[in-house]
Each structure stands twice: as C-alpha cells, then as structure tokens.
Structure 1
Amino acid sequence: MRLILLALCLLVAGSARAADAEVWARLDALHASRADAAAVKELEAELKKALTATPDDFELVWRQARLLQWQADGAGNEKLKKVLGRQTWDVSEKAIKLAPARVEGHYYAATGIGAYSQAVGVMKALGEGLEGKFNERVDTAIKIDPTFNWSAPLLVKGRYFYELPWPKRDLKKSAEYYEKAIKKHPEMLRAHYFLAETLLKDDKAKEARDAIQKVKQGSVAYDPPEGQRIQEWAKKVEADIEEELK
C-alpha cells in the first residue's frame, strides 16, 4: 500500500512539473514576441492567471519581473518609468526571497532600481540611499551568474558608472564592463550601444562610431524585440556621434 501511495505521489508531482514547464514555455514564447502589443496583453493575462493560482511560484514571479523591466526600459515618459521601475523592483524582491541563490531576482531588482532612479533623477535617487541597494543587488547577480541574459548584469553595472554624476562617474570602468560583456556575448547589441554612448561622453567619437556601426550592422536574431529596440535607439546616438565628428 505504501509503495502504491508513493507511486501515486510521484506521478502527481511529475504531472505538476510537466504542467508547470508547459506554462513557463508558453510565457517564454509570448515574451519572445513582446514587440507585439497583442502578445504583451496575452502575456499579462497568462501571468495574472498563473500567479493567482500559485502566487509564490518563483518561476512565475521572476518572469513577471522580466516583463515589467522590459516595459520600464521602453516607457515613454518619466512618470510611467517611475511606476514600472518600482513595480519591477518590488516583484524582484519577492523573487529574491523565494530563491536567493538564483540570479534572476537580484538582476531584475537592480534594473528596477535603475529605472526608478532614472525617472526620479540620479541625484534624488542618491539622496534616497538607493545606490547601496542597487549595488548590493547587481553585484550579487554578477557573483551568481555574470553571463545571465547575454551578460546583462555586466551591462547594468557598466551603466551605473556611466549614469553617476561627477565626480563619481567613471567612464573607464563603464567601458570595461561593456567590453567584458562583448567578449562573452558579441551578439548583444545593447552592449555595443552602451559602449558607444560611454565612448562619446569620454570624447572618443571615432571609437564610438565603430561601436555604433556594430549595432547598425548586427543581427537581432538572438532576441528580435530587444535588438530592434536598440537599433532604433542607436539612430540618435549615431547622429550625435556624426555631429561630434564634424
């Protein structure tokens, strides 16, 4: 009888894991199509439904943070970016509590704090004591897995040194983090885009032009919505570089 009960428990557990895997795969497929508004709407609905059933499922929680981060990153105004950045941060903190040894919660928490800080202004964010919170989370993400999401934790840290006001800004360190990411994932267009901005600010317009050309000519196959967003953003940076080179 005990063996039968054990077998039934294992069968139920195995079925649950299979069902969970199907849900996660569905969410990932929708996320891959997030440039389409209809896909985002469906993704939001699927996440809401799944989280209502199992609100403490780490795999669902970090995927919710991932979507919020994407929306915060592309927010059209500072008010919306502030709200979405805060939501990303809050959801990510829950992910950290659920699985502190996993990289996702720490990484998305850092991006949420970053988006929020950009929206309210870096000086105000520093005044609110967010620098330490940001660094704690991004440094933990780098320690756990610096290559996560095409070395995105390294990009976030590099952007930190770019965004800081003088005298804390360190463009050399900023570029070093991007170059580490590029060495590991040369296909990641955001790394080249961020590097171009850093080089331009560091009065290295010719090098910045080389970096932005890699964005223009690069393939978006690794993540089409992300790559297309960056190539669109690169147009203004390229114009700024050419203006500097006149």
Structure 2
Amino acid sequence: MKLQQLLSYTRKAVEDYRMIDDGDKIAVGISGGKDSLTLLYALHGLKRFYPKKFDLIAVTVDLGFDGFDLSPVRSLCEELNVPYVVVPSEIGKIIFQERKESNPCSLCAKMRKGALNQAVKELGCNKVAYAHHKDDIVETMFLSLIYEGRFHSFSPKTYLDRMDLTVIRPMMYVLEADVIGFKNKYQLPIVKNPCLADGKTKREYAKQLVRQINSENPGAKERMFTAIISQNLDGWPQRAFPYKKGKRNE
C-alpha cells in the first residue's frame, strides 16, 4: 500500500465520523508495532493538507520490560518533526511478577490505556488516536460474540467524559494486509513487542478464526465489517456519509 492510498482511507474515516476539528491536539498512541507507526505516518501526512488544522504528539507507555529499545521510534518522530514522549511505568512487573496473571491481556490493556489517557491529558491533548484497523474491528466483534454474548465492537470515535478526552480510530477502513504492505514498502522501524503473552491471546484466536472463515468464504470479512458499521451499534456515532464498498473500502 502506498502512502497516498493510506491517506485516502484515513481521510475517509476522519470525515465519515467527524474525528478531527480545528485546533485539536491529537496524541498518537505508539506501541512500536506496525499499526501504530502506520497511523503516525497517516496523521502526519493528513496534517499537511487537511483543511482543519491540528497538532500531533506521539506518546508511548513503556510497560517496563527489559530490552524495549525505542530509539528507532524516536528517530522516526524526529524525521517527521513530531514531538515524542515516553511514559515510564511498571505495568509489566505488576501484571507478570506481582499478580502473575494467567490471562493478562485485559488488565494490561486497561492499565496501559489508563496510563496513556492520563499522560496525554497532562500534555494538553483533547484527543488520542488508536491504531485499530478493519481487521481489529471484525475480530473484536467475534470476541464480543464468543465471550460476552453480544454483537458489538469498539467505536470509531468515543468521548470519555471522565477524562474529557475523545478517542479516535482513523485507520478503521485499512486492512491489516495493507498495513503489512505499507510497513514493508516504507521500511518502518518496528520495535519488537517484548510481552510474554504476545501471540498467545484470545485476540490471536479470533484473528485466526476470521482468517479461516474468509479463506473458506472469500469476501466474508468485508461483509462482516459492513454488517458492523451498518447496525447503529450502541455507543457508535452517526456516520456523516454512507459506507460504500469500492476501491477505498475493500
């Protein structure tokens, strides 16, 4: 995927769900993985020509694992002229050493998002961008169906009233396969995830399930995504424009 196509997908999501307003200061949550670095490129590129003016800052919550070298990410942010802040934490120690969680992902995600949201508020941001893509939305729907018994997925735009902070997901129309292609084409400086549970989660199970279904029924993932965004799910904002399958969405 070329940068122009990434920007097209991103702008469509931003406009469909009114994600960005004039004067926004948006924090980009950076894990060091392919998704968050692609999002950084997307918003940095959008900032250059989007009619509504906004500022960016990149923020990483360091979970405290040994060997987590963020210098490649810092170099990329310097190249893009985007300020970069690393928030130290002991979340990894708490999860794996003190609590010894057998299913650590849910608690870790909650603590990591809490630390990120608190940090970005202190930095003066009014919005935070997460790097969830189209596959994430479909996989989350499966997780919700299997483990919660409801048809649901996270919203493209969510206002957190306790924090007075808005969460946006500008890559919601981007396929993970395209993210991988973008990573390879632009040689993104990926930082390996040091988490002990990486690749052994319920989300990985949902990912493999969706992959199998789509392999056996070509186009099923796109149809499931269309079903999700067409259902007026609880907590989802109204779209400004109807979703249409085509070159910008498939």
TM-score band by shorter chain is under 0.3
By relative contact order (CA 8 Å, sep 6+), the higher-ranking structure is: 2
State the structure with more CA Rg: 1
With normalisation by structure 2, the TM-score equals 0.25
Question: Which has a greater percent of helix?
Answer: 1
Question: Which has a greater percent of strand?
Answer: 2
